[in-house]
Amino acid sequence: MRGPDWIAAVVAALPRHHPFPAVEVAGDGSAVITVIAPDRATSRPPRELPDASYRIDTSPADIRITCTEPAGLVAALRTVGCLTVDGSLACGTIEDTPAFRYRGVHLDVCRHFFTADFVKRYIDVIAALGFNVFHWHLTEDQGWRIPIDSWPQLIATGSHRTEADGSRYGGAYSRAEIADVVAHAGSLGVLVIPEIELPGHAQAAIASYRRLGCRGEPVPVWNEWGISKEVFCAGNDDVFGFLADVFDVVTDLFPSRYIHIGGDECPRDRWMECPRCRQRMQDQALADADQLQSYFVRRAARMLEGLGRTAIGWDEILEGGLPEGTVVMSWRGTDGGRAAASAGNDAIMTPLSPCYFNMMHIAHDPDDVAVSTEDVFAFDPAAGLDPRSAGRVLGGQACLWTEGIETEEKAQRMLMPRLLAMSEALWSADPARDFTEFSARARSWLRRFEESGWSVTPLDRA
Ligand SMILES: [Zn+2]
């Protein structure tokens, strides 16, 4: 097999422990499959969204795959595996490119902690299904999971909480584990986008260093679910010094062009009673607390811009004025993403329904919010947008928030089969997509997942 080193890396990384279609790529030049790809460096940050386009030419003599990046090779090998019947593949040409450039899957490792080993297996699965982004939610009120050497209490204190029954719960990754996850994902054509939450969802950081909050009083790492009032002080420049240290580490560990900075669900209670925050509003001529939120997010986004990166924020970053150049991740419906797109910003659609896979599959009571596999299958991130705005929609994302997901087994069960439907929704723009036809294929994938040890929810209950 000829070509750049990453081809060998992709083949080596193809997972053996989940239902990746079995494809053998010979490495001795007499390849069953020949990969044609440019030999160009892909390792320098900032890394853009991986391009999964590919072409397959099959003749009686050989199979040729043409692609430019690992994501394209992974997608092509999946197609070859799926189309191979009894060891044979029909001759012909396939050219394939996904409908959306951003096809993401998210995991919250803060409400409940998941090991680096599980995270890698999670990435194996999303890579096999054609997703190209893993959004890793690393900091929260309930736990801080990424080590920042110059702020050691973030792990010593912030990574564990005391539960109501007195037990301790938590966990964190080492830098080596994070680097290993990023490299593994990269070899499978998946970009890892980390999320550092600000200015809200910051109680674990404030529990570690009380001076990061407005009151300067001790608070515990939170052991409840919901929205904490303990948020970063917007009037204290030390907070931005802290964030500069965090961003230095984050941009060192993560080559992604995009860094997620949260921006959601930030109560203004502490700010309104804080002399430094009020002083900031006065100094910056900010009319209200919404503008103070915008000031905070804008300043953080600018810091990342200075490091050559682009900030993504939840749609609350629209409040008080949208920072130029930031990407809006729209979760409270799609209005935020639509507003961002029409303002000329990029947007990623992950409306709670049908993109939050922590919601139950099927409603049991009239008041239940459920997200069925069929709802996910019908998802179109660019639905109803004029062509100019639609061009600003990078794609969509499935999110897995883990307040109610304590185990790997439950995480798997909540993902499947909805992740199969999301994969199809983001890859194929074909308006004639048919759920009944999809269901037959989904059942065979679900069998493969079960055989490889993944827990799934049966399609008739999802
Ligand atoms: Zn303050």
Strand partners, 144: 139
Which residues lie below 8 Å from residue 333, measured CB to CB, with a gap of 6+? 351, 352
Q: How far apart are the CA of 150 and the centre of ligand 1, in A?
A: 23
Mean pLDDT estimate for the chain: 92
Instruction: Quote the domain boundaries for residue 80.
Output: 5-96
Dist. CA 431–CA 425, nearest whole Å: 10
Q: How far apart are the CA of 292 and the centre of ligand 1, in A?
A: 10
Residue 434 lies in a domain: no
**Are residues 112 and 36 both part of a single domain?**
no
Write out pLDDT tens, residues 13-72: 876 655 555 555 544 444 467 788 877 655 678 999 999 999 999 988 888 899 999 999
**Are residues 114 and 81 both part of a single domain?**
no
Query: Percentage of the chain surpassing pLDDT 70?
Result: 94
Mean pLDDT within 115-143:
96
Q: How far apart are the CA of 214 and the centre of ligand 1, in A?
A: 4
Q: How far apart are the CA of 362 and the centre of ligand 1, in A?
A: 43
Q: How far apart are the CA of 274 and the centre of ligand 1, in A?
A: 5
Q: How far apart are the CA of 278 and the centre of ligand 1, in A?
A: 8
Q: How far apart are the CA of 277 and the centre of ligand 1, in A?
A: 4
Q: How far apart are the CA of 280 and the centre of ligand 1, in A?
A: 9
pLDDT at 42: 59
Q: How far apart are the CA of 289 and the centre of ligand 1, in A?
A: 11
**Are residues 91 and 110 both part of a single domain?**
no
Dist. CA 424–CA 137, nearest whole Å: 24
Dist. CA 25–CA 232, nearest whole Å: 51
**Are residues 119 and 268 both part of a single domain?**
yes
**Are residues 65 and 202 both part of a single domain?**
no
The tokens for 226 are: 């919901």
Residue 419: count of CB within 10 angstroms of its CB: 24
Tokens 């992974």 -> residue:
74
Q: How far apart are the CA of 285 and the centre of ligand 1, in A?
A: 16
Q: How far apart are the CA of 73 and the centre of ligand 1, in A?
A: 50
Boundary of a domain, candidates 65, 96, 127: 96
- Residue by residue, DSSP assigns 68-116 as SSHHHHHHHHHHHHHH-BTTB---EEEEE--S-SEEEEEEE-SSS---H
Dist. CA 385–CA 342, nearest whole Å: 9
**Per-residue buried b or exposed e for 303-321, using 16+ beta carbons within 10 Å of the residue's own CB:** bbeeeebbbbbbbbbbbbe
Q: How far apart are the CA of 258 and the centre of ligand 1, in A?
A: 28
Dist. CA 305–CA 302, nearest whole Å: 5
* Among the ranges given (26-30, 165-169, 192-196, 250-254), the one the predictor scored with the smallest mean pLDDT: 26-30
**Are residues 86 and 119 both part of a single domain?**
no
Q: How far apart are the CA of 246 and the centre of ligand 1, in A?
A: 20
Boundary of a domain, candidates 96, 112, 140: 96
Strand partners, 64: 34, 57
**Are residues 14 and 112 both part of a single domain?**
no
Closest CA to 187 of 97, 73, 36: 73
**Are residues 47 and 141 both part of a single domain?**
no
Q: How far apart are the CA of 241 and the centre of ligand 1, in A?
A: 15
Statement: residue 348 has pLDDT above 50: yes
**Are residues 56 and 132 both part of a single domain?**
no
Q: How much is the pTM? A: 0.95
Boundary of a domain, candidates 96, 123, 146: 96
Residues with CB under 5 A from ligand 1 (ion): 214, 233, 235, 274, 276-277
83 vs 27, higher pLDDT: 83
Which residues lie below 8 Å from residue 97, measured CB to CB, with a gap of 6+? 52, 53, 54
pLDDT at 21: 55
Rounded alpha-carbon distances, angstroms, from residue 184 to 12, 96, 173, 191, 222: 10, 24, 15, 10, 32
Residue 82 lies in a domain: yes
Q: How far apart are the CA of 331 and the centre of ligand 1, in A?
A: 27
Q: How far apart are the CA of 291 and the centre of ligand 1, in A?
A: 14
**Are residues 283 and 178 both part of a single domain?**
yes
**Are residues 301 and 359 both part of a single domain?**
yes
**Are residues 127 and 255 both part of a single domain?**
yes
Mean pLDDT within 109-129:
96
- Residue by residue, DSSP assigns 182-227 as HHHHHHTT-EEEEEEEESSS-HHHHHH-GGGBSS----PPP-S-S-
